Amino acid sequence: MKTLKTTILLLMMITISSLKAQSGVVKIDYKAHAKGWLVDINEAYSLSEKTGKPIMANFTGTDWCGWCVKLKREVFDTPAFKAWAAKTVVLIELDFPRKFQLPEKIKQQNYNLSKAFNVTGYPTIWVFNLGKDEKGQFTIDALGKTGYVRGTAAFTSGVDAMIVKGKQ
């Protein structure tokens, strides 16, 4: 009986693996990979308008980009960053995964924003103010960009400098 259960379990694992290999992509429900991060630019815009905070967009490859994972672990996951971000910026994760599919709306949004900001590598972090023109189209007031920066203090002080410069 134990051999039969083991055989059935093994066959199920092989079947699931082959289905994943055939499709090449695994579909999952999508949300940001860290608490406090948004995934929808409209939500980020609304929160930015309400709070007066600029938006900080993380263009990332959460499931394949080593430097993105390193930045998340060394900076974004720290209590100091979370406290700073809550007071300073609206966070949005713009993911470009390879092992799963985003919902089409989010995928198109992320692609369009990557083109608007001319993103050519990951991670790329843009800080900006977002507005709307008379036609209801977004307007972008870019404050600055960065990539991987080691350490929370160095990262946040760099973004703070972008925000201060943008207010002048």
pLDDT (tens digit per residue) in 110-136: 999 999 999 999 999 999 999 999 999
Q: Which CATH superfamily is domain 32-167 in?
A: Glutaredoxin (3.40.30.10)
User: What are 105's two structure tokens?
Assistant: 């709306």
pLDDT band of 12, cuts 50, 70, 90: very low
CB neighbours of 120 closer than 8 A, spacing ≥ 6? none
> If you count them, how many residues does the chain have?
168
CB neighbours of 77 closer than 8 A, spacing ≥ 6? 34
pLDDT (tens digit per residue) in 64-113: 999 999 999 999 999 999 999 999 999 999 999 999 999 999 999 999 99
Nearest to 106 by CA among 92, 85, 121: 92
User: Rounded to two decimals, what is the model's pTM?
Assistant: 0.82
User: What are 156's two structure tokens?
Assistant: 């946040």
